[in-house]
């Protein structure tokens, strides 16, 4: 891939594993310098930084809790100072605390909303003034098809992912005059380490829902993120692009 993002600096939250890792590497391959946050996976985060730097880009790993407003602001400030700016923000970090609604605890609900929804607000709030001042930006929010259709046993997760879609559309309206595009990517079931722990029956059910008769890979999601970060998507904003093999049509 040519260096279509040459000179750009990006943040990828939750960039040490799975989809986030694939996005970080794909952005670097396209020419961007990449900072990623992690909470627990220090070794994995440093491995991603090494991959980014092996591609000739600058990499940065920052330990930060996305649910913390102050951590988000501190990370954005650090990235601007050390990487020379912030042009691309990919909100990806998320957790699951699954359970049917009559068994879901307040803690299960609050943890998912704090990470999967408030975490996105925290980073957008910190990045928006930077992007407005430079009259340019790309914000890409990773949501889920379950934010569009709901999922049994995932009312907290589905609510957060639906909230991300509303957040995306609102912020797209607010930042459009500053030439900042804001879009969401909604994956279906993607082959990650987290998915490997799922019961085989659940994976087979998801596979049967697709029309391409295969599950997606993190690289499938990353390719769409790179497009949305590029000049080729300069006239695309407020959109939700599904990457699900037709799992939800």
Q: Quote the tokens at residue 221.
A: 């999601």
Alpha carbon distance 81, 213 (integer Å): 46
Residue among 84, 82, 41, 38 nearest 64 (CA): 38
DSSP count for the chain of H helices, then E strands:
10, 7
Task: Name the strands in the sheet holding 33-38, side by side, starting at the edge strand that comes first in the sequence.
Answer: 59-63, 33-38, 9-12, 88-91, 137-142, 180-187, 240-243
Q: Report the catalytic residues.
A: 157
Q: Which is nearest to 113 in space by CA: 91, 96, 128?
A: 96
């Amino acid at each position: 891939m040519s260096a279509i993002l040459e000179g750009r600096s990006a943040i990828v939250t939750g960039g040490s594993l799975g989809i986030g890792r694939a996005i970080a590497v794909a952005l670097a391959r396209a020419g961007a310098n990449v900072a990623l946050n992690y909470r627990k996976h220090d070794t994995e985060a440093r491995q991603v930084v090494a991959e980014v730097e092996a591609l000739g880009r600058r990499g940065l790993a920052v330990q930060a809790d996305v649910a913390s407003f102050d951590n988000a602001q501190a990370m954005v400030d650090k990235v601007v100072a050390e990487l020379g700016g912030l042009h691309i923000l990919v909100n990806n970090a998320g957790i699951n605390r699954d359970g049917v609604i009559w068994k879901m605890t307040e803690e299960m609900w609050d943890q998912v909303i704090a990470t999967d929804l408030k975490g996105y607000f925290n980073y957008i709030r910190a990045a928006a003034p930077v992007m407005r001042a430079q009259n340019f930006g790309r914000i890409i929010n990773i949501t889920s098809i379950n934010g569009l259709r709901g999922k049994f046993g995932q009312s907290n997760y589905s609510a957060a992912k639906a909230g991300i879609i509303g957040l995306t559309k609102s912020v797209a309206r607010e930042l459009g005059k500053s030439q900042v595009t804001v879009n969401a990517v909604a994956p279906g079931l993607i082959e990650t380490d987290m998915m490997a722990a799922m019961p085989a029956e659940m994976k087979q059910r998801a596979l049967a829902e697709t029309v391409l008769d295969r599950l997606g890979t993190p690289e499938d999601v990353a390719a769409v993120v790179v497009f949305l970060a590029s000049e080729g998507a300069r006239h695309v904003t407020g959109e939700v692009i599904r990457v699900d093999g037709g799992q939800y049509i």
